[in-house]
Amino acid sequence: MSSQLSHNEFFLEPADNARLASLCGTFDEHIKQIERRLGVEIAHRDNCFKVTGQPQQAKAAEDILKSLYVETQPIRGVLKELTPDDVHLAVTEANVLEQEAPNVWDKEVFIKTRRGVIKPRNPHQSQYVANILRHDITFGVGPAGTGKTYLAVAAAVDALERQEVRRILLTRPAVEAGEKLGFLPGDLTQKIDPYLRPLYDALFEMLGFEKVERLIERNVIEVAPLAYMRGRTLNDAFIILDESQNTTVEQMKMFLTRIGFNSKAVITGDVTQVDLPRGARSGLRHAVEVLSEVNEISFNFFQSHDVVRHPVVARIVEAYEKKEEAERLERIEKQKIRDAERRQMNHTPHHSQSEE
């Protein structure tokens, strides 16, 4: 729950823009690497940093940032440029990746549906389900495959079958992740269905295809793009916003202010997989920063080792992360070479043409 999260705010001294740039990496790649590995959210402005997450992970992230900042100290006037390998080693040495969340894992937390009982499969899932049941608004932040959306849909189905809510509303922003779907045939509903398919799949598994179709026809279950939420007030509903990292700040504020009486909302997303245009700020990142002190809101952070799909999926995620780190390292080395060549060219003396 929100009270179990740590919000560690600190300053890195002395303030030095060049050292801070080395610490954060190109486009904050080092910050994102720490967030992904430890399951925390890191916000920063100048030399002021704020880490939000489970207490052990948040403290570890703070210590890692402070330690890495020390490493950026110039030696004989030469600034130390941090690499993804430096960050990887710092996170590994922190030795917090395999520690389990306390207390909640030992409690009996589960969700009942007509298709069976759904039980959490790791400590973070157990904490997540417990928070969904206790809080009106719950955030689930972490990589794909950690069960964020699936467990949220299961909780929604359970609440509907126990008549705690009158309808389920599933939504996500229709942001293209590299693919161009605008020229697909069909009406608007058929065009947006590809974006919403993962939500349908979870419903079909828990309720069956025919029942889901009947509930959709009766508007008991509504699956719609986020743009359809504007101007509405949603009472007696269980609302799930999926892929929320692709919301803008304005869209996230709009969604959160739609929530009415006797309603529950779950917001899921992965802050490291933003498909918004470059320069646009993720509404999920902004919400974690702005709302983390609100006690009525629960924030839950998953890590890469929480992946609960086929065992090979976890290894695939790890392999991609290693490859991405290697590619980032290669880009940094190439940038260093280009910078060195530019500096050399700038210091090369220009000889005037000799007079005949």
Residue 157: φ, ψ to 5°: -60, -40
Asked if pLDDT for residue 311 goes beyond 80, the answer is: no
| Whole-angstrom distance, CA of residue 190 vs CA of residue 200 | 13
What is the average pLDDT across 292-319? 75
Asked if pLDDT for residue 189 goes beyond 70, the answer is: no
CA atoms within 13 A on the CB side of 323: 6
pTM score: 0.63
Asked if pLDDT for residue 101 goes beyond 60, the answer is: no
Strands 167-172, 237-241: pairing kind: parallel
If you ran DSSP here, which 8-state letter would residue 76 be given?
Answer: T
pLDDT at residue 234, rounded to an integer: 87
Domains of the chain: 2-98+312-336 (3.30.1370.10), 115-302 (3.40.50.300)
- In the block, tokens 């779950």 appear at 266
| Whole-angstrom distance, CA of residue 270 vs CA of residue 242 | 10
Rg (CA), the chain: 23
Asked if pLDDT for residue 179 goes beyond 70, the answer is: no
pLDDT at residue 327, rounded to an integer: 85
Structure tokens at 257: 């202010």
pLDDT at residue 168, rounded to an integer: 94
- In the block, tokens 């919400």 appear at 287
Which tens digit of pLDDT belongs to each residue from 203-232?
Answer: 888 888 899 899 999 999 988 888 888 888
